[in-house]
Amino acid sequence: MDILFDEIPSLDLADFTAGNPSKKAEFVKKLGEAYQNIGFVAIKNHGLTQDLQDRLYASIKSFFALDDETKANYEKPEIGYQRGYTGKGKEHAKGRNTGDLKEFYHVGQELEFIPDTDSVKSEYPANVWPSEIPQFQNDAVEAYQTLEKAGKAMLQAIALNLELPEDYFEDKVAYGNSILRQIHYFPITNPDEVPEDAVRAAEHGDINLITLLMGASADGLQVLRKDGKWIPITALPDQLVVNVGDMLERLTNKKLKSTIHRVVNPPRELMNTSRYSIPFFMHPRSEMDLTCLESCIDAEHPKQFEDATAGEFLEERLRELGLRK
């Protein structure tokens, strides 16, 4: 029976990691229930300190305060904007042509940390660092590594819930193609000058395995419940919101739900204010096989997706979002 949540469930990641078998099993059970119904949870004890969040937000606010010409120096359309800056309105949701009211900055794996013997090192472009904001690199790399570690713990719990070995995802996400996206939903001083259907982030599902989202600077994030009702997502300051992405939904043949979500515009009188948000999109290595797990296919749940690798699926989605030609 479907459970209709009025808010997303809150869990303590320490229950999974601290070594108490009964608490670990309960965490896995509750996580599975949430991901099979609403696709979102909020977790605490994830390792990301408030100090690091504050430093990271200070860095990105300084960057986005630069003039558009300076920011454009860090734009890399030739790599599908997968590193560096992406300008205002350049990304749109799948199935839409109107660009979202946002600009953002992408950080990926730091190549110096990847062994020379690993083939993915040649796949990834180097990160792009703004010389105007010296602390930007250190803050972003520290946050990236912290969120990646928390994401690996979440994937261990997901694996156990799916009755897979706890380390099922380990080799698939080792030096994976994850992205730290630092977003600025920029102020609109004259709402009449933007397209009527333009929103901060139109309804969409995330591409990746899971997304880990630290607290945003303002309200606006909503998730679409199974009964068609949009409910606001609010996490406490010490929590991360962690949701299922399309790759994990594919792998589990929709057993785990990549729930549609959006960022709505504020009231008209607040359209001239900024909103900042920092999601960590946890991607596997491009060769990961996303073929539906046999354990998630039966007579009542026939296979719903064609076989694809993570790399193939990502390329398809980047084209749909207008970031790849």
Q: Do residues 80 and 323 touch, judged by C-beta distance below 8 A?
A: yes
For 63, counting Cβ atoms within 10 Å of its Cβ (0-12 exposed, 13-18 middle, 19+ buried), the class is buried
The pLDDT value recorded for residue 136 is 96
pLDDT at 175: 97
Answer yes or no: is 136 within a domain: yes
Instruction: Name the residue among 135, 162, 152 with its Cα closest to residue 62.
Output: 135
pTM assigned to the model: 0.93
Sheet holding 40-44, edge to edge: 10-12, 40-44, 240-244, 210-214, 275-282, 179-185, 103-107, 84-86
> How confident is the model at residue 98, as a pLDDT?
78
Query: So what's the pLDDT on residue 109?
Result: 98
Q: What is the pLDDT of residue 1?
A: 45
Edge-first strand listing for the sheet containing 230-232: 201-204, 261-263, 221-224, 230-232
Specify the pLDDT at position 5. 66
Residues in the chain: 325
Residue 118 CB-half CA count within 13 A = 19
Which uninterrupted H or E stretch holds 16?
A: helix 14-17
pLDDT digits (tens, 9 = 90+) for 113-157: 999 999 999 999 999 999 999 999 999 999 999 999 999 999 999
* Residue with tokens 């749909």, as numbered in its chain: 320
CB atoms within 10 A of CB 210: 27
Report residue 116: phi and psi, to 5°.
-60, -25
Q: What confidence score (pLDDT) does residue 298 get?
A: 94
Helix (H) / strand (E) containing 30? helix 21-37
Q: Please give the residue range of the domain that contains residue 114.
A: 10-320
**Residue-level pLDDT, tens digit, the chain, 325 residues:** 456 667 788 999 999 999 999 999 999 999 999 999 889 999 999 999 999 999 999 999 999 999 999 999 999 999 989 999 999 888 777 777 778 889 999 999 999 999 999 999 999 999 999 999 999 999 999 999 999 999 999 999 999 999 999 999 999 999 999 999 999 998 888 777 777 778 788 888 899 999 999 876 667 888 888 888 898 887 777 899 999 999 999 999 999 999 899 988 888 888 888 989 999 999 999 999 999 999 999 999 999 999 999 999 988 888 887 776 6
Q: Considering the domain boundaries, does residue 172 fall inside one?
A: yes
**Cβ 191 vs Cβ 176: under 8 Å:** no
Is the residue at 96 inside a domain? yes
- The CATH number given to whatever domain includes residue 218 is 2.60.120.330
The reply to whether 2 falls in a domain is no
Beta strand pairing call for 179-185 and 275-282: antiparallel
Count of the separate structural domains present in the chain: 1
Does residue 4 sit within a domain?
no
CB distance 221 to 280 below 8 Å: no
Domain assignment present for 5: no
Supply 226's token pair. 């199974």
Res 32: pLDDT: 96
- From the list 99, 125, 90, the residue with the least C-alpha distance to 111 is 125
Contact 27, 16 (CB under 8 A): yes
By C-alpha distance, which of 245, 239, 132, 115 is closest to 175?
115
Residue 172: the pLDDT is 98
Helices (runs of H) and strands (runs of E) counted in the chain: 8, 12
Q: How far apart, in whole angstroms, are the C-alpha atoms of residue 243 and residue 265?
A: 21
**For residue 1, is it within any domain?**
no
